[in-house]
Amino acid sequence: MPKPSWSPEGPSLLLEGDNLELMKSLPEGSFTLCYLDPPFNTGRTQQRTNSTVTGSSESGRQGFGGKTYDFTLNSVTSYDDTFANYWEFLAPRLIEAWRLLGPQGTLYLHLDWREVHYAKVAMDQMFGRENFLNEIIWAYDYGAKSKSRWPTKHDTVLVYVKDPQAYIFNSDDIDREPYMAPGLVGPEKAARGKLPTDVWWHTIVSPTGKEKTGYATQKPLGILTRIIRASSRPGDWVLDAFAGSGTTGHAAAELGRKFVVMDSNPEALEIMERRLGAYLS
């Protein structure tokens, strides 16, 4: 696995280890797009290996709100997606991602309903409410459905820009969607389709499809392709600090961007080496 020796002219990188320490090793302003898809704090055990965080009064690591924490790497085949204080874990990683964004950069944070409301308040405080661009709802309809409440079938992506006057948004490059009432817009517009709204209907990765890598929290290529098309240009650098199955790197490479992807899970690293190997030299 390569050491973090990033350079603007160098190749894309797959990095192994604690993503907080890896991000700290990279130069400020290196990336046009940072996408973070952290554990969702679901309270369920997921099939992957990850780190855990515990509160500590003696640790040298500084967390959100001035609190400190200890970092421990677990060599196990699953992880407990619950943190004593989720934000002690996530906030310093958000701050590092923000530091790594260039002046035209955009940060995408992908969460679900459990933490996203707290994340919005925290990120407004950390980065400035004026830098909030969008709340994207990714809606899907797959898997078991509750009969005791409205079934939860969406994730939320919070989007913040480094400079609200100078960020990148390539509206002409984004994939289009069909109009729901094409007869109302005329044949030319109907043929082109419309720009997606902030609600994205997109299936999850099919358990039997070609895209499936076997990784438990794999995100669809279509979602990352749309994000990368919108908020970066060919030749720009894209960061994913919780890379998992490597979808961000895959989408970035296919779109002519360079990427840095990170994870500490041996299963994730093995999958990404197979999936992204051709783009790493």
Q: What is the pLDDT of residues 177-217, one digit of tens each?
A: 999 899 898 999 999 999 999 999 999 998 878 899 988 88
Provide mean pLDDT across the span 17-42: 92
pLDDT score at 241 = 98
Residue labelled with tokens 């894209």: 238
pLDDT score at 209 = 85
pLDDT score at 143 = 73
pLDDT at 50 over 80: no
Task: Name the pLDDT band for 228 (thresholds 50, 70, 90).
Answer: very high
pLDDT score at 41 = 66
Cα gap 134→140, rounded to integer Å: 19
* Closest listed residue to residue 67, CA positions, set 37, 90, 50: 90
pLDDT score at 127 = 95
Provide mean pLDDT across the span 261-270: 95
> Token pair of 120, please?
């919005």
Give the largest CA-CA distance in the chain: 67
pLDDT score at 85 = 73
Average pLDDT of the chain?
Answer: 86
pLDDT score at 62 = 44
This prediction has a pTM of 0.83
pLDDT score at 86 = 79
pLDDT score at 82 = 52
Other Cβ atoms less than 10 A from the Cβ of 121: the count is 10
Edge-to-edge strands, sheet with 258-263: 13-16, 258-263, 237-240, 31-36, 101-111, 154-161, 132-139, 199-201
pLDDT digits (tens, 9 = 90+) for 56-81: 555 444 444 444 444 443 433 344 44
pLDDT at 25 over 70: yes
**CATH 3.30.1330.60 for the 13-42+86-279 domain, yes or no:** no
